Amino acid sequence: MPKSRIRKKNDGGFTPPPAKRTSASRLPSRWVAPVMVTLFVVGLLWIVLWYLAGDSIPGMKNWGIANLFIGFGLIFAGLMVATRWR
């Protein structure tokens, strides 16, 4: 039985070059985990502290429900930092 011809995979079409990674666009991985955990813990502590002792801490009572947004904002920032973890 005759052997079939081997076809070339390159059909003459354009093949874009691979994307270059820049190290400036991402954080070094040794800093990502501590920053992420710190943001999680500070956000959680902010919410718990506001819930338990918000009236006795000066300034926290004036912000009201904004304290909840601050706490969840810190937790959300921790999640955004977590996406950079390699």
Instruction: Give the position of tokens 């937790």.
Output: 75
Q: What is the domain range of residue 70?
A: 27-82
Q: Please name the residues in contact with 53: beta carbons below 8 A apart, sequence gap of 6 or more.
A: 60
Split at pLDDT 50, 70, 90, the class of 24 is low
**Per the structure block, which two tokens stand in for 71?**
């706490």
Is residue 47 in a domain?
yes
Is residue 72 in a domain?
yes
Reference 46, options 35, 57, 34, 36; nearest CA is: 57
Is residue 37 in a domain?
yes
Q: In this predicted model, what pLDDT tens digit does every residue of 28-71 receive, in sequence order?
A: 678 888 999 999 999 999 999 988 887 788 777 788 889 899 99
Q: What pLDDT, on the 0 to 100 scale, is given for residue 11?
A: 60
Mean pLDDT of 4-17: 68
Task: Please state the domain count of the chain.
Answer: 1
Is residue 16 in a domain?
no
Is residue 48 in a domain?
yes
Is residue 19 in a domain?
no
pLDDT at 10 over 80: no
What pTM value is reported for the model?
A: 0.63
Reference 29, options 85, 77, 82; nearest CA is: 85
Neighbours of 47 (CB within 10 A): 19
